Structure 1
Amino acid sequence: MEFDPSVVLENWDILAWGLLVTLRYTLYTSVIGLAIGLFVALLQLAPWRALRWTGRVWVEFFRNIPLLVLFMWIYYALPIFLQIQIGKETAGILGLGFYASGFYAEILRAGVQSIDRGQTDAAIVLGMGYVQRMKRIILPQALRRMVPPLVGQTIMQLKNTTLLSVLTVPDLLYQAGYIVSFTYRPMEIYTVIGAIFIVVLFPLSALSRRFERKEAA
């Protein structure tokens, strides 16, 4: 069977729409994951054991549960327990956001702990409270070191969106399956899907490497 690029060209509008959906979910869930992850990281760094324990439980739960299982639980089980309706889009955003938060939290925690203890001691001597020294002293320095792993996790987040297809969210992979269902040309479609991911993710990978070299210099 020969490779027929016309199959892709004839359905490019469907693939383009799927790519936009994928990028949109990546953006939304990365922002949600970062926001929750920052909060959880600060919990783990708090001087109170109960808060540290709470943050640790959150991280271990969402880093160790399979994303597909999390999707199924949010979409099918959670509505039964809470007696509410959860749409597939909401389930996808919550699942990806919560899942990413566990990984982002660990990156942020490690970045903060990489800052020399003397910085914290100096801030305490100046009379700064926990929130103030995090905001003004620790986080601005730590963020520079966190950029490469944060970019790497965002790359993983984009690839994780392919699991949205199990919820029938019309992302890139779902649209590819739809096209294959009536063209019967999986080789062409899935080859192009792989190429699209490479084209989108390569600049992010290059950006991550650039920050790594800059930080090492």
Structure 2
Amino acid sequence: MNYSFDFASVFRNFGPLWDGLLVTIELTIAANAIGLTLGFLLALLVMSRWAAVRLPVMLFIEFFRCTPAIIQIVWFFYCVPMLFDVFLGSITMGILALGLNVAAFNAEAYRASIQGVPREQLDAGIALGLNPFQRILYIILPTAVRNSIPVLLTNGIGIFQQSALVAIVAVQDLMYQGKTLATQTYRPIETFTIVAFIYFAVSFPVSQIVGYLERRRETLAS
């Protein structure tokens, strides 16, 4: 191979990649904020005793868990405006698509943790006179979040990586800026290598935190 590497040409034009990274982080934080809050609500609803509440929520969760994220993103960008006459900014649409996706996965993590709440704690809450909302707020929520943290962080990493898919609908995130820069500099190998390292540099520390939390939980449980 006679290819001559030139990473300097990419670093000289690093500004767009930095701007794209900021957009990616914005997408990730906002989508995870939706996923963490909505996911807990969905977990409560899917455990409802009433089928009229439980079944639609279950269908919602399974739809987002069983269809590709790229299809969901494209559907939001092109179908929502046509069907509902709702026109939002591209970043907002990306946040909604990614947020609903991660909410479905978080709901399953929360549900498993809620089912693991000791019955004695709920009985104690009833004995103290706590109403259902107070039992959710003071007993179920803290326990579910604490037990779900490793999975929630893993899902958060996943949504950071999947945010690259919004580049196909012209959201100027890190991946989009990388594609543009690769075209402008004629340096796709160098550009996408740097982009990959940026994704790795953000994801790897969080993955190590997840591993530490899982080991710590196993140690405390043993």
The answer, yes or no, to whether TM exceeds 0.5 is: yes
The C-alpha deviation readout for 1:6-35, integer Å capped at 9, x for no partner, is 122111111111111111110011101111
1:54/1:84 CA distance change after superposition, 3 Å = closer
Does the CA contact (< 8 Å) of 1:43 and 1:54 recur in 2?
no
Name the residue aligned to 1:9. Answer: 11
Deviations 1:80-114 (A, max 9, x none): 11123233222211111111110011111111112
Q: Provide the rounded CA distance (Å) in 1 between the counterparts of 2:103 and 2:145.
A: 16
Question: Mind listing any 5+ residue stretches in structure 2 that lack a counterpart?
Answer: none
The offset of 1:186, in angstroms, is: 0.7
Match of 1:155 among 154, 157, 161: 157
Aligned residue in 2 for 1:139: 141
- The one-letter code of the counterpart of 2:14 is W
Structure-to-structure mapping, 1:87-126, within 5 angstroms: 87-126=89-128
2:167 to 165, 172, 192: 165
Give the partner amino acid of 1:107.
A
Unmatched tracts of structure 1, length 5 or more: none
Q: How does 1:29-48 map to 2 (within 5 A)?
A: 29-48=31-50
Q: How many residues align?
A: 217
CA distance in 1, matches of 2:137, 2:86: 38
Aligned residue number for residue 212 of structure 2: 210
Secondary structure, aligned partner of 2:134: helix
For 1:185, the equivalent position in structure 2 comes to 187
Q: Percent identity?
A: 36
Moved over 4 A (4+): none
Give the residue type in structure 2 aligned to 1:113.
Answer: Q
Distance 1:137 1:69 in 2: 37
Counterpart of 2:86 in 1: which secondary structure? Answer: coil
Residue 141 (structure 1) shift: 2.0
> How much does 1:136 deviate?
1.2
The verdict on how the C-alpha distance between 1:116 and 1:161 changes in structure 2, with shifts beyond 3 A counting, is: same
Q: Measure the CA separation in 2 of the matches of 1:13 and 1:193.
A: 13
Greater shift, 122-131 or 22-31, is seen at 122-131
| TM-score in terms of structure 2 length | 0.92
Deviation, 1:130, is 2.4
- For the 8 Å contact 1:44–1:51, the answer to whether it is kept is yes
